[in-house]
Amino acid sequence: MVLTLTTTSTTTIRQYTGGLKMDMEDNTTVFSTLKSFNSFISHPEPPKRHSEQPAGSANLQINYKRSMELLDAAERVQSKSQYIQLDQEKKQMELSHKRARFELEKVATDSARDLEREVDRNQDLLGRIKRLEEKVGDAAKNLSEQSGNNKVLRKNFDDLNKKVLERDVRLNTANQMISSLHDEIRELKQTVQNQDCTISTKNLEIQSLQEQLDLQRRRYQEMSQLCQSLQSAQSSCSEHVNKIKELERRLSLQEQDIALVRTMRSEVARVQDLDKEVRRLREDNAYLRESRENSSLLKEEVEGLRRKLERMEKTNEDLVNSELEKERLIEKLQAWENLGQSTGLNIRKPEDLSREVIQIQQREIALKEQNYTLSSRVRSVDRSQSQLQGEASQQRSKALEEQKKRETQDALVRRLQKRVLLLTKERDGMRSILESYDSELSHTDYSPQLSKRLREAEDILQKTQSHHLEMEGQLTKAQEESGTLKLQLQSVELELESVRKQQSSVAESNSGMVIEEVLLLRQKIEDVEGERQRLEEQNNILEMRLERHSLQGDYDPVKTRVLHLKMNPTNVAKQQRQQETEALREEVTRLREHLRSLKDAGPLALQDDPHTGSPGLGLSLPPSQEVLDLRKQMESSEMKNKRLKEVFQRKIQEFRTMCYVLTGYQLDVTTENQYRLSSVYAEQMDDSLLFKKGSSGIMQLMETEFSKTLGEMVALHLHHQKSIPAFLSAVTLDLFSRQTIF
């Protein structure tokens, strides 16, 4: 019972403690209660121990006391727990109080914030109110201003009204003026109408006057036509006069011609002599022409001969070349012929050579055949060798197999022998046993059985012996066979070696002799072929050349001749050409002489032409009047030019001398845009100033020896004052002063 109480109390305590985990004070109270409880529990134990031995009834009382004490303790514990509970509730209440306070505080803060916000809003609103008040004040000001403006505008309006009234008054006056003007216009219109009438009358007058004008014009035209006819008549008259003059001139010319004719008649008498001379000259001409033709023919002959010469020279050269070639070929031939002597063969003609070559070729062929046969033999030998090798290998394998068989057979034999021994021993043993049995037992009817057995055993023995003999025989046979095979192998190997040796020996023996010959022959053949190709090429080239030449028209002068007609178109054309050229040349010379004569004669050609008419020209152009007029104009213009030039020169000279005298400087233009000034008072002839006109039109002073001496004046007048006239005048003053002093 006590224990259960304690457990219940502890459980209640634990329950309470479990509910109050937050408060340390509660735990401590719990621990303190537990301690007291434990101490209480432990306290009754010693008395328990002390009172183990007394009687059982005292125990019951003690137990009852103890249970009462325990109950008290439990009640105390319960009360304490209740106290604790109340404490806890109080604390909870405090907590809740605190929470409520927190919440209140929060609410307070929130409300404070709201308050602040409200305060701010208030302030904003106050500010807005102020601004609005200000705006109101401004609006009131504006209003007042506007009212002022309104008043001003009203005043203006009144003024304008007054002006309008004045204008109305003026309009009325203007209207009155207009009406008066209209009256005036009516009067003017009337005057205009009057004037129109007068105009119409005047137009009629004008028409009549125009008709009179037309009449006058017609008369004028008639008069002008009459004038023109008069003028034409006058011109025809002048023409007639000119014609008369011309005719008079012709008459004069004819009179002159008559005079000429008279003189000609005198000359005609000389004609006969001239005829003779002409005939002689013609004969000479003909002779000269013939000689010229002959000369041309001769020239052609000469040309032909020259060409023949050239051809001959060419043929000569060709001859020489061919002779050289012939010599070369002869040398070659000799070399070829000597071949026979050099090689020791009987060679005199190329046929022998070819024969020899053929023989050599045949020998070569034979040798080749031998070679081929030998090689075929070698191949066959190789093949047989390979076959034998194969067989040998087979035999070896067979021998190995036989050996193995023999060994197995030997083993079998040994085993059999052992078995035989054993069997014999067994037999001996059996026999001994049998004998013993026999000895032991009686001599009964076992002997025929024994003898049968004996016989059977002996038969078996014999069989085994014979079998053994057979096996031995087979073994020996196999051994013999392997021995023979080995012998065969050895013999074949020996053959192979011998064949190989033969081959090598054969090869060596062949190469020695034949190859040398073959090489020599091959070389010869190559040389011969090379020469043949060269000769063929040369032949081709020569044939090409020949064909080319024949295409070009070359020919063998020994066999062929080139002919053509004497009067062939080329000759004719050439002659014509020559004649044309000669005629042209003659004309050219004639024209040149005429030109010269015309230039030399000039204005005198008019009168002297019939007399100076150059003989042989045959052209005497009478100088026309136009030419004379033009010549006169030319002369007059030339005279004018000359006079103008003289006048210009005089004027220029005057001007220059005046400039020199007045300004004291002589101006010369040395080159374009360069002007040389030389002063009157210059100490030396060479002293001069050079001015150059720049591209921009500014005059610049150039360096001369004289200008170097005037450095100060240059600096002063040109650089500072920038005035050339001042500089020049300073220079003249300076020179003048120098002159007067010295």
Partner 1 sequence: MTSTLKGITLKGSAELVAEFFSFGINSILYQRGIYPPESFTRVTQYDMSLQLTTDGKLKDYLTKVVAQLKEWLFDCTVQKLVLVITCLETNEVLERWQFDIEYGCGRRTKSIKTIQDEIRSVIRQITATVTFLPLLETACAFDLLVYTDKDLMVPEKWEESGPQIIDQSEEVRLRSFTTSIHKVNSMVAYKRTDSA
Residues near partner 1, by CB under 8 A: 300, 303-304, 307, 548, 550-555, 557-574, 577
469 versus 542: smaller Cβ distance to partner 1:
542
Q: Residue 668 forms beta bridges with which residues?
A: 676
User: Closest CB to partner 1 among 571 and 663?
Assistant: 571
Distance CA 22, CA 92 (A): 11
Q: Which has the closest alpha carbon to 713: 694, 693, 689?
A: 689
* Rounded Cα distance, 488 and 394, in Å: 12
Closer CB to partner 1, residue 481 or residue 554? 554
> Would you say 473 or 557 has its CB closer to partner 1?
557
Q: Which of residues 573 and 628 has its CB atom nearest to partner 1 in the complex?
A: 573
Cβ-based nearer residue to partner 1, 21 or 566: 566
Q: How far is the CB of 285 from partner 1 (least distance, A)?
A: 25
H/E stretch holding 348 reads none
Give me the residues paired with residue 678 across strands: 666
CB of 571 to partner 1, least distance (A): 8
CB of 318 to partner 1, least distance (A): 16
Q: Are 413 and 472 in contact (CB under 8 A)?
A: yes
Minimum CB separation from partner 1 for residue 375, in Å?
57
Please say which residue, 209 or 573, places its beta carbon nearer to partner 1: 573
The structure tokens 């190329």 sit at 350
CB-based contacts of 680, cutoff 8 Å, min separation 6: 660, 664, 665, 666, 732
Cβ(40)–Cβ(73) under 8 Å? yes
Among 709, 732, 604, residue whose Cα is nearest residue 662: 732
- Using an 8 Å Cβ cutoff, are 683 and 735 in contact? yes
Closest approach of Cβ 586 to partner 1, in Å? Answer: 20
CB of 574 to partner 1, least distance (A): 7
Is 669 in a helix, a strand, or coil? strand
Pairwise CA distance, residues 287 & 167, whole Å = 135
Strands 665-669 and 674-679, how do they pair? antiparallel
- Residue 615 DSSP label: T
Tell me how far, at minimum, the Cβ of 308 lies from partner 1, in Å: 8
Output 75 or 547, the one with its CB closest to partner 1: 547
Residue with tokens 């020469």: 531
d(CA 421, CA 659): 182
Q: Which is nearer to partner 1, 580 or 705 (CB)?
A: 580
Q: Which is nearer to partner 1, 237 or 573 (CB)?
A: 573
298: number of CA atoms within 13 Å, CB side?
Answer: 6
CB of 579 to partner 1, least distance (A): 13
Residues with Cβ within 8 Å of 594's Cβ and at least 6 positions away in sequence, in order, are 614, 617, 619
Of 673, 669, 635, give the one whose Cα is nearest residue 652: 669
Q: How far is the CB of 304 from partner 1 (least distance, A)?
A: 5
| Closer residue to partner 1 in complex, CB, 185/312 | 312
Classify the phi-psi angles of 664: left when phi > 0, otherwise alpha if psi is within -120 to 50, otherwise beta: left
- Report, in Å, the least distance between residue 549 CB and partner 1: 9
**Going edge to edge, which strands form the sheet with 665-669?**
665-669, 674-679, 689-693, 699-702
Question: In this structure, are residues 686 and 692 in contact, taking their beta carbons and an 8 Å threshold?
Answer: no
Minimum distance of partner 1 from residue 319's CB (angstroms): 19
**Planar angle of CA 105, 108, 112, nearest 5 degrees:** 140
Shortest spacing between CB 582 and partner 1, in angstroms = 15
Question: 310 or 472: whose CB is closer to partner 1?
Answer: 310
Q: Which two tokens stand for residue 347?
A: 């060679």
Minimum CB distance to partner 1 smaller for 230 or for 573: 573
In angstroms, give the least distance from the CB of 578 to partner 1: 10
Given a contact cutoff of 8 angstroms between Cβ atoms, the answer to whether 727 and 717 are in contact is yes
Can you give the length of the chain in residues?
742
